[in-house]
Amino acid sequence: MLQSSQKQANRENLLAKGVTLLTQQGYHGTGLKEILDAVQIPKGSFYNYFGSKENFCAEVVQYYLAPFIEQLESHLQNSEQDALTAITRYFNELIIELEKTDFKGGCLLGNLMGELGDTSDIVRTSLQVAVIQYRDLLRYGLEKAQQEGTVRADKSAEELADLLVNTWQGVLLRMKIEKSSVPLKQCCENLLDDYFRA
C-alpha cells in the first residue's frame, strides 16, 4: 500500500513538474533529464510510469486542464449567480492570475498546439480531448445562460463556446507578445458583455 501511494506521489510530482517546465520551455526545450532531476526520480522509473516523452506530454495536458475544469465547474454550480456571471467571473479570475505571473507561459494547451499539433498524433489527440472537454463545459454554461435569458439564443451554445475557446486561445498568444492583459479583457468584454448577450 505504501509503495503504491509513493508511486502515485512520484507520478503526480512528474506531472506537476511537467506542467511547469513544458509551459515555460516548450516540449522541445524540456529534456527528460531536467524533469527527472527536478523530482529526483531515476530514468527507468519514468518509462515505467509513462512509456515515452510523448505519452508523458499527453498526460501532462490532461493534468494541466483538470484544475481549470474544476474552477469553472465551481463557478457554474454556485447557485447565487447566473451562468453568464459565473463564466465572466471565471475568466476574470484567469486574467488576474495571468497578470500576477507577468503574462509568462500563457496557456500550455495553446503552446503545445503550436509546437506539436501537427507532428505528434499522441499529443494532438490529448489536446483535442482537452479542448473538447473545456468547450463542452462552456457550452453547458452557455446553454444554462440561454435558458436564463441572458445569452442570445439565435446561435447554438456550442457555436458560442467554440468562438469563446478559439478567441481566448488567440488572445493568450497576443498577450504573450504584448505583455498586457488588454487583449484578454477585450475578448471578455466583446464576447461575454456584448456579442453573447441576449
Cα separation, 26 vs 97, in Å, equals: 20
Q: Collect contacts of 10-15 with beta carbons under 8 A, ≥24 apart.
A: 10/39, 10/41, 10/45, 10/49, 11/49, 13/39, 13/41, 14/39, 14/41, 14/46, 14/49, 14/50, 14/56, 15/59, 15/60, 15/63
Q: What is the mean pLDDT of residues 104-126?
A: 90
The string of pLDDT tens digits covering residues 58-96 is: 999 999 999 999 999 999 999 889 999 999 999 999 999
CATH architecture of residue range(s) 57-195: Orthogonal Bundle (1.10)
pLDDT at 122: 95
Q: Which residue has the higher pLDDT, 192 or 34?
A: 192
Contact 191, 164 (CB under 8 A): yes
Residue 32: is its pLDDT beyond 70? yes
Contact 68, 130 (CB under 8 A): no
pLDDT at 10: 83
Q: Which residue has the higher pLDDT, 102 or 83?
A: 83
pLDDT at 3: 61
The string of pLDDT tens digits covering residues 122-173 is: 999 999 999 999 999 999 999 999 999 999 999 999 999 999 999 999 999 9
Cα separation, 93 vs 99, in Å, equals: 10
Give percent of the chain with pLDDT exceeding 90. Answer: 74
DSSP string, 20-69: HHHHHH-STT--HHHHHHHHT--HHHHHHHHSSHHHHHHHHHHHHHHHHH
pLDDT at 2: 54
pLDDT at 38: 85
Q: What is the mean pLDDT of residues 26-33?
A: 91
Per-residue confidence at 40, pLDDT binned at 50, 70, 90? confident
48 DSSP β-pair partners: none
Residue 13: is its pLDDT beyond 70? yes
Q: Which residue has the higher pLDDT, 58 or 116?
A: 58
Cα separation, 36 vs 192, in Å, equals: 42
Q: What is the mean pLDDT of residues 176-197?
A: 95
**Contacts of 181 by beta carbon, 8 Å cutoff, 6+ apart:** 95, 98, 99, 103, 175
Give percent of the chain with pLDDT exceeding 70. Answer: 98
Domains of the chain by residue range: 57-195
For the chain, give the mean pLDDT: 92
How many C-beta atoms surround the C-beta of residue 1 within 10 A?
A: 5
